[in-house]
Amino acid sequence: MSTRKPPFRALTSAETRASPETAEPPLEQLRGLRRQVLEIIDEVLSDSSQATDAVREQLRQHLAAHPGRPEEALLEHLTSLRSEQQDQQGDRDLDSPQPAGPQADIPQPAGPQPVSSRLEEVLRDRMLMTAFQPVFDLTTSSVVGAEALTRFVSDSGDPADYWFAEAEDTGLRTDLEFAALESGLEAARKLPPHLVVALKLSDVVGLDPRLPVLFEEIPIAPARVILEVSGKFSSKRAASLAAALAPLRRAGVRLSIENMGSFFAGASPVLQLKPEMIKLEQSLTAGLNQDSLRQELVEAEVKFAREIGAVLIAQRIETKDELATLRDLGVTFGQGYHLGRPSVQPTEWAKWRGRAGHLTFPGGRALPGTRGKTLRG
């Protein structure tokens, strides 16, 4: 996990006795503490390490349980983590001593089928499919695009994040991402032709030489494709990624940046990549209507996106009040369960045809649809 600022501390008695001339106004103190809490939360949620998936999910649950009160959510989150650590230590203390020998430290398989074999079976037999979640123009309620989400054909019931975490551990993450890209592109043929298609990929896949080869023969126009890069990376990495994706972007493929880390520290890579779209960090959406300071952060991101000529898209819109607040703040595109759930059924995708619109950029530039050509002409 990346290094984060230390959590806020309570004021000492000496600080509370500071003279009026030197003491910070109470309101400014509160705003400063709230901003620091939001930065910490933003840093935790933007960490792309597979090892911290469970920690990030716990924090999201605490934020949902305390809408508009990030301080309480963070405190509860830290308390629960400390409690889990103590419980784990207690369990270790109660365990009987392990036998000595070469087998002592070897972890036992979690199930009857080794992880690598299960993943290799998925890749070999293409046991995955694509669900699409609609993306809406919040000003017209029309569907302008769809985000591809990977689903796995398995009796285990494990979520997609679990599969990708396993793939990371076994060195198959890149292969699994390419399989997901291929599945998403093939499924996109059945979407209404006016819709753009957002496909997730890591910066590692963005730098992989197989990516341009994949796009040499794709079933939809490159101008309909949005490559959604997730993860947090350095400015140097961003420069390499910009160079690697340049040929695809010249062919019409668009770029979206998701979870670039703290808004306060992530502007430099965004400026280097010059994306057409920026995804609003999903932690800012939950309970946004009840939190004036987070509304200020969203306003700042709206302004930043406009200044660089990018579209800002909100995620995880789950209530009508969150939707209304986002509209008031100038966010014009979004997705979430309140608007439309993911579906693997082409019959559901077909319903978006009658509600289809066009994704436009500041200044009125429309994102091209089916008028584009594939890379193979």
pLDDT digits (tens, 9 = 90+) for 137-190: 999 999 999 999 999 887 677 788 888 888 888 888 999 999 999 999 999 999
Bigger pLDDT: 295 vs 110: 295
* Domain final residue, candidates 88, 108, 139: 88
pLDDT confidence bin for 6, thresholds 50/70/90: very low
Query: Are 226 and 295 part of one and the same domain?
Result: yes
Would residue 95 count as lying in a domain? no
Would residue 348 count as lying in a domain? yes
Would residue 19 count as lying in a domain? yes
Query: Are 82 and 122 part of one and the same domain?
Result: no
Query: Are 302 and 154 part of one and the same domain?
Result: yes
Query: Are 238 and 300 part of one and the same domain?
Result: yes
The half-sphere exposure of 167 on its side-chain side, counting CA atoms within 13 A, is 20
Please state, in angstroms and rounded to a whole number, the distance separating the CA atoms of residues 342 and 131: 6
- Return the CATH number at 229: 3.20.20.450
Query: Are 134 and 189 part of one and the same domain?
Result: yes
Q: What's the mean pLDDT in 49-63?
A: 74
At 215 the three-state DSSP class reads coil
Helix (H) and strand (E) counts in the chain? 14, 8
Please state, in angstroms and rounded to a whole number, the distance separating the CA atoms of residues 130 and 250: 27
Please state, in angstroms and rounded to a whole number, the distance separating the CA atoms of residues 374 and 377: 5
Q: What are phi and psi of 361, to 5 degrees?
A: -100, 165
* Domain final residue, candidates 32, 67, 88: 88
Domain, as residue range, for 78: 13-88
Q: Could you give the residue ranges of the DSSP H alpha helices within 191-291?
A: 203-206, 210-214, 235-250, 267-273
Would residue 323 count as lying in a domain? yes
Query: Are 67 and 144 part of one and the same domain?
Result: no
Highest-confidence range of 162-166, 216-220, 366-370, by mean pLDDT?
216-220
Please state, in angstroms and rounded to a whole number, the distance separating the CA atoms of residues 299 and 331: 9
